[in-house]
Amino acid sequence: SGREKWPKGDEKTWKAGLRSVDKDVDAITKSFVNHVQTSLARQPYNIDNLGGYQATALSVRDNLLVNWNETQLHYTRKAPKRAYYLSLEFLMGRTLDNALLNLGLKGQYSEGVQKLGFSMEDILEQERDAALGNGGLGRLAACYLDSSASQELPLWGYGLRYKYGIFQQLISPEGNQLEAPDPWLDNQNPWELPRLDVTYDVRFYGQAERLSDGTGRALWQGGQEVLAVAYDVMIPGYGTKTTNNLRLWESRPKRGFDLNSFNAGNYEGAVESSNSAAAITSVLYPNDHTTFGKELRLKQQYFWTAASLQDILRRFKNLNKPIQEFADYAAIQLNDTHPTLAIPELMRILIDEEDLRWDVAWSIVTNTFFYTNHTVLPEALEKWPVPLIEHVLPRHMQIIYDINLFFLQAVEKKFPGDRDRLARMSLIEEGVPKQVRMAHLACIGSRKVNGVAELHSELVRTTILKDFVEFEGISKFGNVTNGITPRRWLDQCNPELSALISKTLKLDKRVWLKELTKLEGLIPFAENKAFRKEWAAIKQRNKERLAHYVQTTLGLIIRTDAMFDVQIKRIHEYKRQTLNILGVIHRYFTLKSMTAAEKKKVNPRVVFFAGKAAPAYYIAKLTIRLVVNVARIINADPDTKDYLQLYFLPDYSVSLAEVLIPASDISQHISTAGTEASGTSNMKFCLNGGLLLGTVDGANIEIAEEVGENNVFFFGHLTPAVEDLRYQHLYHPIPIEQKCPALANVLDQISGGAFGDAGVYEPLVNTIRQSDYYLISDDFDSYLAALDMVDEAYLDKEEWIKKSIYTTAKMGKFSSDRAINEYAESYWNIEACPVLA
Ligand code: 7GP
């Protein structure tokens, strides 16, 4: 209203003290020096780059906080419907560069730090990645935060503040992956605000007793109580004041340690319970695409959903609306099934604490939640043992049983007598022990369900949730194709290309970076020779930047006059890094059999791999070992080293991706058809003018739809063939020698010890020789043919550059702005709530 009473003291005095965003270089250097002197308590004559980074970050943080405060106040006053993105993972990477670019202050800050004797580049390099995620799912969450703020949508993220993020990957001399902890908070984290005033209690274990008053309520008492403390991370929008919030919870013991045991001399016992509380948020689980049923992981999931829901409800209650209107003010997005306990938790609150009737509560719940599935791989579909949930969350187990009872009654009514269907759809899977199927719970507890690319969403509808589509109707099951933020994944990681695009389109980047389909304006320039030259020169400089990075970090010299061929992602059998490395081995032996004259015609290639394997994933770790050892042999072979080089870059991260992606000519996205839900790095490579070599899977298909099939390199069997091929492998196997001699030859070389350690690789080789579940033997020949086509296309440099330009130009669809707007409009029903400058 603007006529509110000033709450405390004198309004004028307050307002005189409020700071605004620094805009000029003088204000920036002043704030930098100020932070050196006070926040860091250091002297100008002994401050190093790390100190320079810290002072810059603290100064930028002050500016972010101005906008953050204004945004939050604005939301409170306007009271719009809000969206909440619940994700166990946010793979943010570095913050400083992104914050500077989004604030539009990079130029001023660069000038300022230079005046003080620093270079912005050195300062940026000091920051550690915030790596609170495993891979695609976590990075998607980070891109969506950037887009929600940029689109001025009132959205908050909720996650956990892990003390240790994804492990650091080391490679032993034998080529084995070793895992070291990632103590990312050791240097302090200027990007978070501890909110010691925002805390909630979360209960575990204890007893749940149903009350006999006919209300269906229960009393849940006893057990362990843990404190959730909020840490807020500012999420600046691009070219807008809107600065959203990511709230991460840390677990702490509710009251220090138990004084009784402490006084009784049982120090260990006293400290133990406080340790067990702190353990909940101590480490990110490093598995993607597998679930383990570990108690601590269940506690993480409940701790996070319970704290987040209490926080969301408290905010809603400040509006003084009846609880029945909750879903008109809050949409909660479940990022995969990890936060599914929010469904029975909200039921518990509404019934046991708010005294609502079951069906009233259920209708609120099913209007509040939305569920996104990120994989159809069976081993990744979460299931929790009933006895474990009964033990850790006794009241929730009762509620899940009740939900199941009402649900199965409704199914029985619609499909009378169909017992198989009831068994298939039940929330409880029979067996020893019984298990709760979280995807089923997430599905029936949500307003809508979606997959992350067209093909994947169709597979969700026709395979894992088929029965649910038949029961609930198809309109509940949609698709939102993933996206990536062009701010980080073009402007920030490839500044030269970004500048060339602005110059060519005659548009300020603030326009096209928010309306990415404007890139189509580049198409006519593909025919312009001078433009192509500039385009290619930038790719070349990006290769040199990568080579420089590899030389300074690993001490390896990489040639930059070759084609750069990149596959970077989690190491997993379904992603088929094996297909790639077997292809490299094939190329190596082909080269070795060539005459000098023949070799002269060969297009030199540098092949890069990077990615982490889950620590317990034996076959994935063997794949890394094979790549490292093949690299050792190939790179040292004088016969071939001018034509083929191979590198496994350790410790893949967001920051490493930012250097690799702009340098790539071709990137590989070669999952068995139907297994990669979407993929998002495919979009990043193409946005940076790299061409795509891939299978007809996930978002590759939609990329090809945009850029045209003649501009991507597709190969391999299609999704509908996969099931039959697997069946054949099991029941009518054809010997590999007969089916695919090229592959048989490569496998024999490995088994014969060509890359050392004969025998070590047998378990890996046997996965292919035996059931070959991921269809390496079926796709190998067409993969080699596709690689040849890539080589041939690359020989015509001008044509290749045209394809590259065209690819970038057609990537507008894959902006995460488009994706987040689809969620806002068709799922959450929220609107932009712009903060006026
Ligand atoms: C990934 C999918 O594998 C990838 O295809 C997709 O692009 C990404 O999510 C974002 O939607 N899934 C995971 O990272 C994951 O851990 C298991 O899924 C829950």
Ligand 1 center to residue 669 CA distance, Å?
14
ipTM over 0.90: yes
Nearest CA to ligand 1 atom 16: 288
374 flagged as catalytic: yes
Same domain, 463 and 547: no
Amino acid at residue number 631 = A
**577-592 helix and 618-636 helix, angle to the nearest 10 degrees:** 20
Our answer on whether the CB atom of 380 is closer than 6 Å to any ligand 1 atom is: yes
Ligand 1 center to residue 140 CA distance, Å?
9
Ligand 1 center to residue 398 CA distance, Å?
31
Give the whole-angstrom CA distance, residue 75 versus residue 405: 40
Q: What are the E-state strand segments in 23-150?
A: 82-86, 90-93, 130-132
Same domain, 689 and 702: yes
Our answer on whether the CB atom of 237 is closer than 6 Å to any ligand 1 atom is: no
Our answer on whether the CB atom of 679 is closer than 6 Å to any ligand 1 atom is: yes
Is residue 770 within 8 A of residue 736, CB to CB? The reply is: no
Q: Is residue 834 part of a domain?
A: no
Give the whole-angstrom CA distance, residue 68 versus residue 109: 20
Ligand 1: nearest atom to the Cα of 676: 5
Q: Annotated catalytic residue: which of 487, 575, 729, 802?
A: 575
680 flagged as catalytic: yes
Give the whole-angstrom CA distance, residue 21 versus residue 211: 56
383 flagged as catalytic: no
Q: How many CB atoms lie within 10 A of CB 17?
A: 7
Q: Annotated catalytic residue: which of 241, 456, 532, 569?
A: 569
How far are the Cα atoms of 123, 661, 714 from residue 704, in angstroms, in the given order?
A: 39, 19, 9
Same domain, 449 and 562: no
Comparing CA positions, the residue from 688, 686, 713 lying closest to residue 541 is: 688
Task: State the pLDDT at residue 670.
Answer: 99
pTM over 0.90: yes
Nearest CA to ligand 1 atom 9: 137
**Which residues lie closer than 8 Å to 148 by C-beta, 6 or more apart?**
83, 85, 155, 235, 244, 820
Our answer on whether the CB atom of 678 is closer than 6 Å to any ligand 1 atom is: yes
Q: Is residue 342 part of a domain?
A: yes
Same domain, 563 and 471: no
- Does residue 322 have a cis peptide bond before it, meaning omega lies within 30 degrees of 0? no
Same domain, 469 and 497: no
Ligand 1 center to residue 679 CA distance, Å?
7
Q: Is residue 456 part of a domain?
A: yes
Ligand 1 center to residue 367 CA distance, Å?
25
Number of H helices, E strands in the chain: 36, 24
Our answer on whether the CB atom of 288 is closer than 6 Å to any ligand 1 atom is: yes
Q: Is residue 330 part of a domain?
A: yes
Is residue 686 within 8 A of residue 464, CB to CB? The reply is: no
Provide the residue range defining the domain that includes 123: 1-78+104-128
Ligand 1 center to residue 80 CA distance, Å?
31
Our answer on whether the CB atom of 698 is closer than 6 Å to any ligand 1 atom is: yes
Say if residue 206 is exposed, middle or buried (CB neighbours under 10 Å; 0-12, 13-18, 19+): middle
Same domain, 228 and 343: yes
Give the whole-angstrom CA distance, residue 567 versus residue 244: 33
> What would the two tokens of residue 742 be?
């090229």
Our answer on whether the CB atom of 286 is closer than 6 Å to any ligand 1 atom is: no
Ligand 1 center to residue 678 CA distance, Å?
7
569 flagged as catalytic: yes
Handedness of CA 616, 620, 624, 629 (dihedral sign): positive
Our answer on whether the CB atom of 562 is closer than 6 Å to any ligand 1 atom is: no
Our answer on whether the CB atom of 157 is closer than 6 Å to any ligand 1 atom is: no
**Three-class DSSP category at 17:** helix
φ, ψ (nearest 5 deg) of residue 264 = -75, 5
Last residue of a domain, one of 461, 481, 501: 481
**CATH number reported for the structural domain that contains residue 242 in this entry:** 3.40.50.2000
Ligand 1 center to residue 692 CA distance, Å?
19
**Helix H or strand E segment including 65:** helix 49-78
> What would the two tokens of residue 202 be?
């979360």
Task: State the pLDDT at residue 2.
Answer: 47
Same domain, 559 and 629: yes
In 334-435, alpha helices (H): 342-348, 358-368, 386-392, 394-414, 419-425
Q: Annotated catalytic residue: which of 374, 437, 488, 729?
A: 374
How far are the Cα atoms of 360, 706, 744, 773, 782 from residue 740, in angstroms, in the given order?
A: 61, 33, 6, 16, 11
Query: Which mutation among 85, 91, 137, 333 tests ligand 1's pocket best, with the greatest number of atoms within 8 A of CB?
Result: 137
Q: Look up tokens 């000098």; give the residue.
A: 596
Same domain, 467 and 497: no
Last residue of a domain, one of 481, 497, 521: 481
Is residue 279 within 8 A of residue 159, CB to CB? The reply is: no
Helix/strand/coil percent split, the chain, to 5: 55, 15, 30
Ligand 1: nearest atom to the Cα of 680: 7
Q: Is residue 391 part of a domain?
A: yes
Handedness of CA 672, 674, 679, 684 (dihedral sign): positive
Last residue of a domain, one of 436, 459, 481: 481
Same domain, 394 and 536: no
Q: Is residue 679 part of a domain?
A: yes
Q: Is residue 214 part of a domain?
A: yes
Q: For the chain, which residues score pLDDT lower than 50? A: 1-2
Same domain, 463 and 506: no
Query: Which mutation among 334, 374, 569, 571 tests ligand 1's pocket best, with the greatest number of atoms within 8 A of CB?
Result: 374
Our answer on whether the CB atom of 336 is closer than 6 Å to any ligand 1 atom is: yes
Nearest CA to ligand 1 atom 8: 136
Is residue 382 within 8 A of residue 439, CB to CB? The reply is: yes
Number of domains in the chain: 3
Q: Is residue 775 part of a domain?
A: no
Same domain, 450 and 507: no
Our answer on whether the CB atom of 192 is closer than 6 Å to any ligand 1 atom is: no
Our answer on whether the CB atom of 582 is closer than 6 Å to any ligand 1 atom is: no
Contacts 24+ apart (CB under 8 A), 627-633: 627/175, 627/577, 627/581, 628/171, 628/175, 629/175, 629/755, 629/756, 629/757, 630/581, 630/584, 630/585, 630/588, 630/755, 632/175, 632/755, 632/756, 633/588, 633/754, 633/755, 633/756
Task: State the pLDDT at residue 256.
Answer: 60
Same domain, 254 and 383: yes
Our answer on whether the CB atom of 483 is closer than 6 Å to any ligand 1 atom is: no
Our answer on whether the CB atom of 482 is closer than 6 Å to any ligand 1 atom is: yes
Nearest CA to ligand 1 atom 4: 679
Ligand 1 center to residue 677 CA distance, Å?
7
Give the whole-angstrom CA distance, residue 370 versus residue 66: 32
Ligand 1 center to residue 97 CA distance, Å?
26
**Which residues lie closer than 8 Å to 73 by C-beta, 6 or more apart?**
none
How far are the Cα atoms of 121, 599, 744, 784, 785 from residue 592, in angstroms, in the given order?
A: 42, 9, 18, 17, 19
Give the whole-angstrom CA distance, residue 613 versus residue 622: 9
